[in-house]
Amino acid sequence: MPGPWKFTIPTVEVRHAVGADGARAAEGVVVVVDVLRAFTLSAYALAGGARECLLVRTVDDARRLGAATEGSLLSAEVDTLPVEGIAISNSPTQISHEELGGRAVVQRTSAGTQAINAVEGAVAIYAASLVVAKATAQACLLRRDRLVTLVRSADFPEDHACCQYIESMLLGRPARVDELLEPLRASERYRRFAAGDWPGFPASDLELALQADRFEFAMPAVRRRDHVRIVREDPGSGDRRLDSSPRRRVTRRTT
């Protein structure tokens, strides 16, 4: 795991937004969060050796881009359900069992890939989930930008928890991930997923998705004409030596 790090930032404004509409209006450094499960799958794919993840809006877009991309592997769901003819659903468990070295994973989901494709006014974009939360916060702080907008891809408790966790690190405040996740674990939705009988959603996906800071890399995103490309961005050793005391004036706004 990344070691302790501190940053001097004169002013950090953290805004919050939800969904594609919120992403479209987001400004500054925009972090789009999807814990269950789009950007958790992306993280496991990149950790497993994939060269990139290509995020699209529709299943047809996924098929077209996959056909045009050498070494592609498709992953898709519609309303959390698997897509006929596409072997991998939106499942970190399934993607972890694939040989991914040098491949491009093409993803279509009902929340995460929709929201990130809607971003328009960002100075930088990151895809994020709990498994890369600390690395994402570190990447945002290293940019020295004054505004970070955290976008929950959907109004679900796990995305809210992840955004709260990232915000706590941006602002230098302590946070306990287990406490932030209590609303999720108390929900009927969580119990249904944990039962393991949801198509394309093995119960092991929950365990994989809720391992905060499992990976040390961030996932910067670049908009293309018909998709968004994300890659793995590992921290440099020089970045971790930024150890000046944190001095921040903080403002927070929810949109």
Beta strands in the chain (DSSP E): 11-18, 27-33, 52-56, 72-78, 81-82, 104-108, 121-128, 147-152, 219-223, 228-230, 249-254
* pLDDT reported for residue 12: 86
Whole-model pTM: value is 0.89
User: pLDDT digits over 77-130, tens only?
Assistant: 999 999 999 999 999 999 999 999 999 999 999 999 999 999 999 999 999 999
Note the CATH number of domain 11-233: 3.90.1560.10
Residue scoring higher pLDDT (211 or 240): 211
Indicate if the pLDDT at residue 253 is higher than 90: no
The fraction of the chain above a pLDDT of 70, given in percent, is 89
Mean pLDDT of 14-43: 98
The domain ranges of the chain are 11-233
What pLDDT is stored for residue 236 in this prediction? 74
